[in-house]
Amino acid sequence: MSMSVGDAGGEDEVMVEMNTTPLIDVMLVLLTLLVLTLPPQTHAVKLDMPAPNQTPPTVIPESVELGVDFDGTITWNGSPVDRGTMDSYFANAATKNPQPEIHLNPNRLAKYDKVAEVLADAQRLGVTHIGFTGVDQYN
């Protein structure tokens, strides 16, 4: 029992391998047609929104200029106030309907903790309409 290794007599055999290139081409064409015939997917969420109010508000809320200086001085409409007076002004503003708009304008050199104390007092006393002004000084 001997075994022969090598090409002895292998030159006359026919190769029986299938050419897969046309099959791949056909699959790519079918895949392209499938992608082109799919309906486009919309990612929009359809909502029934209420109609906008066409009448302007009848009462325009007052605005208050609240400042925090670099040395911690708090001003209410340009007048220096202490924290107790400011708290009474906040409590008074929270009871009004509509609440006045508080425009907080801290000096660029003011300490963060002083500005945070003013904001915390406003939140604690129920003031909801407060925003920052004078942001152009930080550019």
98: phi then psi, degrees, rounded to nearest 5: -80, 155
The architecture CATH gives domain 63-134: 2-Layer Sandwich (3.30)
pLDDT at 10: 57
Mean pLDDT, residues 81-107 taken together: 93
Residues of the chain with pLDDT > 90, as a percent, come to: 53
pLDDT at position 13, please? Answer: 78
Region 62-73 average pLDDT: 94
Contact 102, 68 (CB under 8 A): no
Position 9 confidence tier, pLDDT thresholds 50, 70, 90: low
Task: Compute, in degrees rounded to 10, the torsion defined by CA atoms 38, 40, 46, 52.
Answer: -160
Q: Provide the whole-model pTM.
A: 0.58
**How high is the pLDDT of residue 81?**
96
